[in-house]
Amino acid sequence: MKKTILFCSLITVPLTLMFLGAWAHQEHRSIPYRDPSLSIEQRVKDLLGRLTLQEKISLLGGTGFATRPIPRLGIPELRMSDGPLGVRWDRSTAFPAGTAMAASWDTSLICKVGRAIGQELRGKGRHVILGPCVNIARIPMGGRDFESYGEDPYLASRMAVGYIEGVQSEGAAATVKHFAANNQEYERGFVDVQVDHRTLNEIYLPTFKAAIQEAKALCVMSAYNKVNGHFCSENDYLLKSKLKDDWKFDGLVMSDWGAVHSTIPTANGALDLEMPTGEFLNDSTLSGAVKSGVVKEETINDKVRRILRVMFELGLFDKPQLEPDTALINTPDHRQIAYQAAIEGITLLRNRRNILPLNLNTTKSIAVIGPNAAIARTTGGGSAMVQPIYSISPLEALQKKLGGKVKINYVDGVRLGEDFKALDAALMFLPDKGVNGLAAEYFDNAKLSGGPRVSKQDSTINFDWTGSAPVPGVPADHFSVRWTTRLKAPATGDYFLEVASDDGARLYFDGKMVVDNWSNHPVTVNSVKVHLIKEKFYKIKLEYYQDTGGAIARLGLRPAEDDSFKKAIEAAKRSDVAVVFAGTSFEYETEGKDREDLVLPVNQDALIEAVAKANKNTVVVLITGSPVIMNDWINKVDGVVQAWFGGDEAGNAIGDVLLGRYNPSGKLPMTFPVRWEDCSAYNSYKKQDSVSVYSDGIFVGYRWFDKHDIKPLFPFGYGLSYTTFSYSDMAAKPVGDSYEVAFKVKNTGKVEGVEVPQLYIHDPDKAIVSPVKELKRFDRISLQPGETKEVRFVLTKSDFAHYDADKEAWVTHPGPYDISVGSSSRDTKLQCTITVE
């Protein structure tokens, strides 16, 4: 009997569980917002009706990098991660800078990059990538130019659409930023950009429009700055009239971190989510306003509706994707995509005497020189900076590819500011003991106030805690640290004590403050010259705080005298070829500040000149995010390669181009000027405190150079190849309501190559102010030696339109338009005319 009962019980239990499961599933589906068979709008409507006013308001402010969950209704976090050049959540694949990707002019490749980033985002258990950045490069020194896609709205639009489609094909959300006219870091938090509506709509908004209407971006981030007197986060023209009314955007509009400045204007405006927290949009500031009618509850409902809509679009109520999946991070496929993006963006600017590719039959030794040779400069600084899982420097790549067949003579020559080794642990001793180390006090606030949360011993100061807590019990943001130690001088002489920090740092040497940089800033290096006597001990105290974002603290020591420059020249003299890897780094091109000028930092111009004098076979490889001036040496070297910030595979990509394993095909996404004074923003940038008047109007980048007949150093769209191309047989004809332009391109050289034919239009009607050329189409075609391909572009009437500010509408005037095609904005090979009816 007992056996029978037991047997029955074993059957009854699973049957009961099956019944309960089926009942629960049916009950689950009976709640409309949990029923995946219903439309997203039906589910959003049902869930919105179940929220209390307090719960709705709680969704309007973030919790750092997420929205606030509501467990009562099973509403999860919407988790975000910085981008756009990879997932900045711990270590991930570092993809090339936006300018490098734009230099490829390869939209299908950018879609692959987006898809890989979408996969890695899911692999981190995140849902929203804070990218792409699509702001136009108006100022060549702009701190965040490297993140974006250059100076032309059409090229930037094509890149952005490809990126977003790739990200969102993986069930992740892209965030197009920063809306709008965020074209400088100087005074970015409050500068008033004064720009006319035609310029705004023709230059600074088209990429956002394409991102919304073509790529269906799910999220938009508003900018820090003002536009025509109103902060972007409460700017009705941008967020309501353009974004939500004209473009019919139904997704989520979030603020940049800390870019909200008011409660009622913001709440009544079109911003939906305040990040990183609800400082202005919270229950205490809004509940009363809603109950009194100052803010309508339907206005709150619309914001919440958009947040929920994105969650449903991503399937967070059905497949939350909350747990990390490391199998999706830095896969072989992702590394290959990163390599392809890096190599396709490399742009050959000069190749006299066909010095490139390097001839290994005659080259037995190479001098590898420069501050960017032995260090992988993957990207610029700030929120776009990804910590790679793997990276390879140009020097390391060349060593591996040459395998000892060619002697490499490496000397850096000069070092960039942040390139110092952490202070040797063997030289530091605890304050009251004869053992090595530093006494470290970690505080759970940014003010070193109260007692330390954690006291421990550190061996050195060489930390990058970005995105993670420094020690258990201390938060990842808003913390501070105090280190004390005794430095034992290694030898008598003059030295530089160097501190790199993001954010604040104060350094004390023998009780005296010698570095005071106690403010929020991107990674910055400060140094002080000190005289040390061998074996003597010196008291060191370093205080550091981090607010939000980057969290970097380093302390170094180096001799004041350095003979590296001299050794570099000696290496050049005894080598067959000299390759100088020059450029900038994340310290110089970074969020939070613009470069002061376009000059290569730390005496690199003099280094290049000296190397070129010592070796007639000199090639310069520039690793930067945007243009630099080359006047001192451009005519003294035979080869110049613009390699950009190329991500974690940059070294391999550069090596393959130099050695002829890949024929470079990159084209500049921005004009390289001879001097800053030639640029469109020169007469307005930093001319008025807190105001930036866009007096250049629609004439930005190559449009300005064309209008004023200024010769650039290298024009927009320019890039050489190891082969040559010819253009012929241009013809244009109407096809229905459109116009077809056809022509042929032939590879006239001896090696396979890729050409990027570009089509520009011009309205010759003098009654309408228009650029000499405007990019409207491009293609990317691969040709074998001697091969010819026909290229066909189709133009629509909208391609000939300009924005009429009086009518607040796009207008196409009938009449003739000049059409030109060629290999750059200044090298147009063929011309014809199209008459628009």
Per-residue confidence (pLDDT) for residue 420, from 0 to 100: 77
- Residue 229 burial by Cβ neighbours in a 10 Å radius (0-12, 13-18, 19+): exposed
pLDDT exceeds cutoff 60 at 191: yes
Active site residue 256: yes
The answer to whether residue 480 sits within a structural domain is yes
User: Are 9 and 92 contained in the same domain?
Assistant: no
User: Are 158 and 286 contained in the same domain?
Assistant: yes
Phi, then psi, of 645 in degrees rounded to 5? -85, 110
Q: What is the helix (H) or strand (E) element at residue 264, kind and residue range?
A: helix 264-268
Other Cβ atoms closer than 10 A to 351: 18
The answer to whether residue 450 sits within a structural domain is yes
Residue at which a domain ends, from 613, 634, 655: 634
pTM of the model: 0.92
The answer to whether residue 433 sits within a structural domain is yes
pLDDT digits (tens, 9 = 90+) for 624-674: 999 999 999 999 999 999 999 999 999 999 999 999 999 999 999 999 999
User: Are 17 and 124 contained in the same domain?
Assistant: no
Minimum mean pLDDT among 42-56, 84-98, 508-522, 550-564: which range?
550-564
**Average pLDDT along the chain:** 94
Domain count, the chain: 4
- Residue 252 burial by Cβ neighbours in a 10 Å radius (0-12, 13-18, 19+): buried
Quote the percentage of the chain above a pLDDT of 70.
Answer: 96
Residue at which a domain ends, from 293, 328, 363: 328
The answer to whether residue 281 sits within a structural domain is yes
Distance, CA of 662 to CA of 667 (rounded, Å): 15
Query: Domain with 431 in it: what CATH number?
Result: 2.60.120.380
Query: Domain with 130 in it: what CATH number?
Result: 3.20.20.300
Q: Where residue 20 falls among pLDDT bands split at 50, 70, 90?
A: very low
The answer to whether residue 411 sits within a structural domain is yes
Task: Calculate mean pLDDT across residues 584-609.
Answer: 96
User: Are 213 and 310 contained in the same domain?
Assistant: yes
pLDDT exceeds cutoff 90 at 681: yes
pLDDT exceeds cutoff 90 at 5: no
Characterize the bridge pairing of strands 438-443 and 479-488.
antiparallel
User: Are 44 and 26 contained in the same domain?
Assistant: no
User: Are 517 and 444 contained in the same domain?
Assistant: yes
The answer to whether residue 686 sits within a structural domain is no
Per-residue confidence (pLDDT) for residue 12, from 0 to 100: 36
Q: Where residue 28 falls among pLDDT bands split at 50, 70, 90?
A: low
pLDDT exceeds cutoff 60 at 187: yes
And the tokens for 762?
A: 């011009």
Per-residue confidence (pLDDT) for residue 633, from 0 to 100: 98
Query: Domain with 797 in it: what CATH number?
Result: 2.60.40.10
- Residue 509 burial by Cβ neighbours in a 10 Å radius (0-12, 13-18, 19+): middle
Contact (CB, 8 A) for 718 and 701: no
Per-residue confidence (pLDDT) for residue 2, from 0 to 100: 33
User: Are 99 and 216 contained in the same domain?
Assistant: yes
pLDDT digits (tens, 9 = 90+) for 741-751: 999 999 999 99
Q: Where residue 466 falls among pLDDT bands split at 50, 70, 90?
A: confident
User: In which domain, by residue range, is 25 found?
Assistant: 1-30
Phi, then psi, of 506 in degrees rounded to 5? -135, 125
Per-residue confidence (pLDDT) for residue 29, from 0 to 100: 62
Start-end of H helices in 314-468 = 332-345, 394-402
Secondary structure of residue 446 in the 3-state scheme: coil
Q: Where residue 37 falls among pLDDT bands split at 50, 70, 90?
A: very high
pLDDT exceeds cutoff 90 at 30: no
Say which amino acid occupies 205.
L
Nearest to 43 by CA among 78, 79, 71, 73: 73
User: Are 24 and 47 contained in the same domain?
Assistant: no
Per-residue confidence (pLDDT) for residue 11, from 0 to 100: 35
User: Are 434 and 547 contained in the same domain?
Assistant: yes
Per-residue confidence (pLDDT) for residue 433, from 0 to 100: 78
User: Are 156 and 279 contained in the same domain?
Assistant: yes
Residue with the bigger pLDDT between 569 and 559: it is 569
User: Are 150 and 203 contained in the same domain?
Assistant: yes
Residue at which a domain ends, from 606, 634, 662: 634
User: Are 165 and 261 contained in the same domain?
Assistant: yes
The answer to whether residue 522 sits within a structural domain is yes
pLDDT digits (tens, 9 = 90+) for 113-129: 999 999 999 999 999 99
Q: What is the helix (H) or strand (E) element at residue 210, kind and residue range?
A: helix 206-213
Question: Could you give the angle at the alpha carbon of 224 between the alpha carbons of 220 and 228, nearest 5°?
Answer: 100
End-to-end CA distance of the chain: 95
Contact (CB, 8 A) for 647 and 338: yes
Q: Rounded to whole angstroms, what are the CA distances from 654 to 1, 401, 418, 622, 810?
A: 81, 11, 23, 10, 43
Q: Which of 256, 272, 412, 656 is catalytic?
A: 256
Per-residue confidence (pLDDT) for residue 561, from 0 to 100: 79
The answer to whether residue 262 sits within a structural domain is yes
Q: What is the DSSP letter of 166?
A: H
Q: Where residue 16 falls among pLDDT bands split at 50, 70, 90?
A: very low
pLDDT digits (tens, 9 = 90+) for 278-307: 999 999 999 999 999 999 999 999 999 999
Minimum mean pLDDT among 288-297, 461-470, 698-707, 767-776: which range?
461-470
Distance, CA of 138 to CA of 199 (rounded, Å): 12
Contact (CB, 8 A) for 321 and 122: yes
Q: Rounded to whole angstroms, what are the CA distances from 139 to 222, 676, 682?
A: 20, 9, 8
pLDDT exceeds cutoff 50 at 10: no
Distance, CA of 607 to CA of 571 (rounded, Å): 12
